[in-house]
Amino acid sequence: MIEFLSQPWPWYVSGPAIAAIMLILLYFGKSFGFSSNLRTICAMMGAGKRAALFDFDWKSQRWNLMFLLGAVAGGYISSNWLPSEVPLALSAATIADLQKMHITFDGQIVPEQLFSWEFLFSAKGLLIFLGGGFLVGFGSRYAGGCTSGHAISGLSNLQLPSLIAVVGFFIGGLISTHLLFPLLF
């Protein structure tokens, strides 16, 4: 079982699994999205007394909080109990692009050079993490949801605002990759 779980799942398994989850959510009248958990947590903590956005029945969103806890637990389990000795298979072109930005590819899923305590507590790292966190939080609130909510739930419901948001996410990703990353790194 450990061998099965530690391998990447093929598209013909993971794709239908996502579709099945979406059908179940649609059947029960729920919509999938990760950023809505922040609103739910704020409502749980009493933020509804100060802001109307957080004044709602947060108990109806408990299922989504379980998804959040499951994602965190799954990440912990996979990184600590299902380690892979095989380095990440990254294309030579991507490794060359990273080297142009002075980022060393170390075979891990995220570069230790950027995702370490030393980088976080540097001036540049703190600015990048705080600025990026603010932009992600503001962007998901302004767009009415996050990438997973719009791209998976919104598009499966054939919502035009979700299509517009997903196109915007891709354009933002391209701008970040080709214009901002070279300036930052």
Model pLDDT for residues 26-36, shown as the tens digit of each residue:
888 887 778 88
Structure confidence by residue, pLDDT tens digits, 39-83: 889 899 999 899 888 898 889 888 888 888 998 998 888 878 876
Q: 146 in a domain, yes or no?
A: yes
Q: 101 in a domain, yes or no?
A: no
| Placement of tokens 């609103």 in the chain | 39
The dihedral over CA atoms of 185, 147, 13, 81, expressed in degrees to the nearest 10, equals 60
Parent domain of 5: 1-83
The dihedral over CA atoms of 104, 105, 109, 114, expressed in degrees to the nearest 10, equals 0
User: How many separate domains does the chain show?
Assistant: 2
Q: 19 in a domain, yes or no?
A: yes
Entry pTM? 0.69
